[in-house]
Amino acid sequence: MQAEYVIVGAGSAGCAMAYRLSEAGKSVILIEYGGTDAGPFIQMPAALSYPMNMKMYDWGFNSEPEPHLGGRVMATPRGKVIGGSSSINGMIYVRGHAKDFDHWAESGAHGWRYADVLPYYKRMEHWHSGGHGGDPEWRGKDGPLHITRGPRNNPLTRAFVEAGREAGYPVTGDYNGEQQEGFGPFDATIYRGRRWSAANAYLKPAMQTGRVNLVRAMAEKIVIKDGRATGVQVERDGKTEVIDATKEVIIAASSINSPKLLMLSGIGPAKHLAEHGIDVVADRPGVGQNLQDHLEMYIQMAATQPVSLYKYWNIFMKGLIGAQWLFTKTGIGASNQFESAAFIRSKAGVEYPDIQYHFLPIAVRYDGATAAEGHGFQAHVGPMRSPSRGEITLRSGDPKDAPKILFNYMSHEQDWEDFRTCIRLTREIFKQPAFAPYAGKEIQPGADCQTDDELDDFTRQHVESAYHPCGTCKMGDRNDPMAVVDPECRVIGVDGLRVADSSIFPRITNGNLNAPSIMTGEKASDHILGRSPLAAENVEPWMNPNWETSQR
């Protein structure tokens, strides 16, 4: 078993790299522990709450008890299936704000400014505006990743954007284009009514070249000889094997599993490795550190008219929706139901948005449980740039053991202030005239939850992960002791080894992380192939001219 390149993880970045390397004529072995993505629960967009809660498709990670959330243990789903988390996520497509990438470059990830990554976003995208505005010049037109917009037929979906406008916020035709700030339509990785995961967009075409071999196995450690990665030790069908890489090994196993695999291979904080009896190959104290995520809260309202999706929330209607989708790939089943979005700033003096909204025309939890009130609607809201940092550490030296995940959520005073702001700004939006025909009582947090202490208590009990973990193998300058990879994604201190996935993000980006994860795989491919990066595009994104003096 050998190839020029061995990639660990058939997720968002891994699939993109397999596609680009095979396109360049290289031989690739892609190691993936999870199985097939066939079946309606993954492919049907409206069924998104199912695969995330299925052992068959999810690694089933949980955090350690979170000290600032009253000891709550938080679910940390990661895709254990081809396509990785792009096969079980909410299909939301957000590039991130231009300033996010400029910050990366300033913090040592040279060559990753917005001007540098924009051409890779364009290369990967095939954008369909669906007649909902936006400027195609900012978007890709013929990439493998199809991005579409829902029909936006529900009156609540339209009311959300109108309420934002009434509250004095900008409206944007495309938050992934020139102007992120404001209210507007959501982009989704959905195409012809199906989830357009990294597996559908990249892996399946790559496999057809005959140069990509997908191997189902559990990666146990990277084989390193004389300071160079030469292959991957795996367990397959109960037997230990080594898969050899004649050129490079590339880890794209997620922000949870990539640092775990590095540490099992002797790359990480020396003292921590010694505690688990692992020989140190490279003392990199940053491996597993810098863990970040987005938290969010569901602000739920009862609806006074039967306009929400609640009417479909019964066995009979779900059956009808499923049947329509199976035979025609149309109808309610063909949308993830997240069709209106917003990015706003929390206060004057914040240069670019630091709060994101996902609007949903039903009051429902991620696990599919609806509010007892019946018809309703909700906004998922949360801050984008929490100062809290957590860590991934080994539970043991056994590759089968899940790592210890401690997000250290809400460990900073700013987090609490941010969530109070999020709740109060959302309530104001829901009080706008656009919602007057529909808005009933507030289900959650509820009208009796008003003071700072009451809001903090509610946050502690009800805040949820948005499932955007990243940052645990930080990319930075080679002289930065906490950097794990350099700006070409090469692991510092070991030859022939790279990491390319959301674990290398120096800081979390605005919005959902699937798009920047795929972009990372796209850009890393050019570094791996020794190609000159695509020419930078020095365009100026829109910044609110009054950001220093006003919140909107």
For residue 347, count CB atoms less than 10 angstroms from its CB and return exposed for 0-12, middle for 13-18, buried for 19 or more.
middle
Dist. CA 280–CA 267, nearest whole Å: 6
CB 475 within 8 A of CB 440: no
What pTM did the predictor assign? 0.98
For residue 136, the 8-state DSSP code is G
What confidence tens digit (pLDDT) does each residue in 184-242 have? 999 999 999 999 999 999 999 999 999 999 999 999 999 999 999 999 999 999 999 99
What confidence tens digit (pLDDT) does each residue in 387-432 have? 999 999 999 999 999 999 999 999 999 999 999 999 999 999 999 9
CB 300 within 8 A of CB 442: yes
User: Which residue out of 132, 146, 358, 468 is catalytically annotated?
Assistant: 468
Return the HEC string of 72-103: ECCEECCECECCHHHHCCCCECCCCCHHHHHH
Maximum distance among all alpha carbons in the chain?
Answer: 70
402, two tokens = 């899940």
What confidence tens digit (pLDDT) does each residue in 436-465 have? 999 999 999 999 999 999 999 999 999 999
Q: Would you call 468 a catalytic residue per the annotation? A: yes
pLDDT score of 113 = 98
Q: Is the pLDDT of residue 367 over 80?
A: no
Tell me the three state secondary structure of residue 174: coil
In order of 80, 394, 402, the CA distances from 257 in angstroms are 11, 10, 9
Cα 454 to chain centroid distance, Å, stands at: 30
Q: What is the mean pLDDT of residues 79-106?
A: 98
